[in-house]
């Protein structure tokens, strides 16, 4: 710590140059914070969202194709299946096309298989009793200021009613909550009754989008999945049954390989950062060779000089990086507040301890890399040569 004032003074010897270098470090770590937040959100979505004892059965050709409702009872009687439910994509929009959120028609027992969605008993009963009833997540209700008893008109994008009307009006009877902050993105769903939906829609009647199967024994997942798929073997509606985790990962993969994209962007950013700050540090140390020689004259050892230059470089990265990550955190919070109902899960996770630790590790690593050559040069300089300007 006693060297901090010396390191600090050396860092800000050329204020303008240091300021612009700090800005570039700040920008790199701002980008890192934002992109890592997105990457983590996708990773969370495809990992922790899934329950280990649930399977998803969809059409083998594409999960956008429907399956016959008649499969329901057949799956239900399969050994190893504890319970089955089903759902269909509804795809409604509220007032304006930009107000789009996941809306699904679900079977009566859909909430039984998703205990992470907490819906009070009386609201559950109201959903069951009222054909036009709807249940929404708390985040979605908060965003549009909906309260129980409201009539909510949704414009159908895929399923017009039998009378050709595109407007479906639902009665809000329940609001569910999710406690796990990692799953908070699931509070953006809008659920309607499948029975009412199937009765009123003008096409696709008697079909469902996917089945959700609860396993009696999670260790038999592969066997049960195979048996379920065998039910539709050689039919025109062959199925693909997989764990909810695998299904979610595949769904996320439809968007893009976020990890690869983020990795590629950050690789380019940090490569540029290493060149830029490396050049700055090399220049800064080159200018200070006589000063480093003075320090060595006064008795600073080679290792102390090495440590001083490396500390300066790491301090540069940590200062700029911490401010960048801090701003990234504020931006992510602002985005999450303004877009609570975006996508199947929240598009970003908060810039938390894990991202900070990862960022701090990167700051130190980049600092050591860019400081290494100048530090070694400072360490190796011969006092008499440096003082005489050789």
Partner 1 sequence: MGALVEIRNLSKVYERGKERIEVLHHVNLDIEQGGFVALMGPSGSGKTTLLNLIGGLDSPSEGTLSVAGRRIERLGEDALARWRASNVGFVFQFYNLLPMLTAQKNVELPLLLTRLSAAQRKRKATIALQLVGLGNRAQHKPSELSGGQQQRVAIARALVSDPTLLVCDEPTGDLDRQSATDILTLLQQLNRDHGKTIVMVTHDPKAAEYASHTLHLDKGSLVETPELAHA
Q: Would you say how long the chain is, in residues?
A: 390
Of 294, 327, 365, 373, which one interacts with partner 1 (CB under 8 A)?
294
Count the residues of the shown chain that bind partner 1, applying the rule CB under 8 A: 25
**Measured from the CB atom, is 20 or 255 closer to partner 1?**
20
CB 242 within 8 A of CB 55: yes
Closest CB 6 distance from partner 1, rounded Å = 7
**Measured from the CB atom, is 156 or 284 closer to partner 1?**
284
Give the whole-angstrom CA distance, residue 108 versus residue 110: 6
**Measured from the CB atom, is 290 or 361 closer to partner 1?**
290
Among residues 389, 210, 364, 211, which one has the least CA distance to residue 293? 389
Closest CB 309 distance from partner 1, rounded Å = 14
Stretch that binds partner 1, among 10-18, 49-57, 90-98, 275-283 (CB under 8 A): 10-18
Of 250, 295, 307, 323, which one interacts with partner 1 (CB under 8 A)?
295
Q: Give buried/exposed letters for 41-75 (b at 16+ CB in 10 A, else e).
A: bbbbbbeebbbebbbbbbbbeebeebbebebbeeb
Q: What residues numbered 348-387 form the site for partner 1, per CB under 8 A?
A: 383-384, 387
Closest CB 18 distance from partner 1, rounded Å = 11
Q: Is 296 in the site for partner 1 (CB under 8 A)?
A: yes
**Measured from the CB atom, is 13 or 162 closer to partner 1?**
13
Task: With both helix axes pointing from N to C terminus, report the angle between 353-380 and 15-46 in degrees, rounded to the nearest 10.
Answer: 140
Which residues are within 8 A (CB) of 355 and not within 5 positions of it... i.e. 6 or more apart?
33, 36, 37, 40, 325
Closest CB 387 distance from partner 1, rounded Å = 7
**Measured from the CB atom, is 223 or 301 closer to partner 1?**
301
Closest CB 2 distance from partner 1, rounded Å = 6
Stretch that binds partner 1, among 3-11, 212-220, 340-348, 353-361 (CB under 8 A): 3-11
CB 28 within 8 A of CB 273: yes
Closest CB 316 distance from partner 1, rounded Å = 15
Backbone angle region of 203, left / alpha / beta, with phi > 0 → left and psi within -120 to 50 → alpha: beta
Of 204, 291, 326, 344, which one interacts with partner 1 (CB under 8 A)?
291
Closest CB 317 distance from partner 1, rounded Å = 20
One character per residue 298-317, x = contact with partner 1 (rule: CB under 8 A) = xxxxxxx-------------
**Measured from the CB atom, is 173 or 309 closer to partner 1?**
309
Stretch that binds partner 1, among 66-74, 191-199, 212-220, 296-304 (CB under 8 A): 296-304
Stretch that binds partner 1, among 9-17, 69-77, 111-119, 347-355 (CB under 8 A): 9-17
* Residues 352, 337, 47, 138, CA torsion sign: positive
Residue corresponding to tokens 């540090």: 281
Among residues 355, 292, 281, which one has the least CA distance to residue 315? 281
- What number of other Cβ atoms are within 10 A of residue 382's Cβ? 11
Give the whole-angstrom CA distance, residue 229 versus residue 81: 13
Q: What residues numbered 13-52 form the site for partner 1, per CB under 8 A?
A: 13
Closest CB 12 distance from partner 1, rounded Å = 7
DSSP H helical ranges for the chain: 4-11, 15-46, 71-76, 121-129, 138-144, 194-200, 221-231, 244-255, 258-287, 289-298, 302-338, 353-380, 383-387
**Measured from the CB atom, is 10 or 228 closer to partner 1?**
10
Give the whole-angstrom CA distance, residue 225 versus residue 213: 9
Q: Which residues bind partner 1 (CB under 8 A)?
A: 2-3, 5-6, 9-10, 12-13, 290-291, 294-304, 383-384, 387-388
């Amino acid at each position: 710590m006693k060297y901090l004032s010396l390191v600090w003074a050396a860092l800000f010897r050329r204020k303008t140059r240091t300021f612009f270098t700090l800005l570039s470090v700040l920008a790199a770590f701002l980008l890192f914070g934002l992109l890592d937040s997105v990457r983590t959100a996708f990773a969370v979505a495809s990992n922790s969202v899934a329950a280990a004892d649930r399977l998803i059965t969809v059409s083998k050709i594409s999960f956008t194709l429907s399956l016959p409702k008649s499969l329901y009872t057949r799956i239900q009687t399969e050994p190893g299946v504890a319970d089955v439910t089903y759902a269909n994509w509804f795809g409604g929009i509220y007032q304006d096309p930009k107000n789009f959120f996941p809306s699904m028609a679900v079977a009566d027992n859909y909430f039984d298989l998703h205990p992470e969605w907490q819906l009070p008993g009386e609201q559950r009963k109201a959903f069951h009793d009222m054909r036009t009833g709807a249940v929404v997540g708390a985040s979605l209700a908060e965003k549009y200021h909906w309260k129980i008893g409201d009539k909510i008109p949704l414009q159908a994008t895929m399923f017009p009613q039998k009378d050709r009307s595109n407007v479906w009006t639902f009665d809000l009877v329940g609001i569910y909550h999710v406690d796990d902050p990692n799953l908070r993105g699931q509070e953006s769903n809008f659920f309607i009754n499948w029975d009412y939906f199937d009765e009123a829609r003008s096409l696709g009647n008697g079909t469902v989008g996917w089945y959700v199967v609860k396993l009696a024994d999670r260790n038999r997942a592969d066997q049960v999945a195979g048996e379920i798929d065998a039910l539709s073997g050689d039919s025109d509606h062959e199925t693909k049954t997989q764990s909810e985790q695998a299904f979610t990962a595949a769904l996320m993969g439809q968007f893009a390989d976020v990890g690869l994209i983020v990795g590629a962007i950050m690789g380019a950013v940090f490569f540029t950062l290493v060149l830029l700050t490396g050049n700055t540090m090399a220049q800064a140390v080159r200018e200070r060779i006589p000063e480093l020689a003075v320090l060595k004259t006064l008795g600073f050892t080679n290792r102390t000089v090495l440590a001083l230059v490396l500390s300066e470089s790491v301090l540069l990265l940590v200062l700029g990086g911490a401010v960048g990550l801090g701003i990234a955190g504020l931006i992510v919070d602002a985005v999450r507040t303004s877009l609570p109902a975006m996508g199947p899960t929240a598009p970003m996770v908060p810039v938390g301890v894990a991202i900070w630790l990862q960022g701090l590790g990167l700051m130190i690593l980049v600092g050591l890399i860019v400081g290494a050559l100048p530090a070694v040069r400072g360490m190796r300089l011969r006092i008499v040569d440096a003082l005489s300007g050789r």
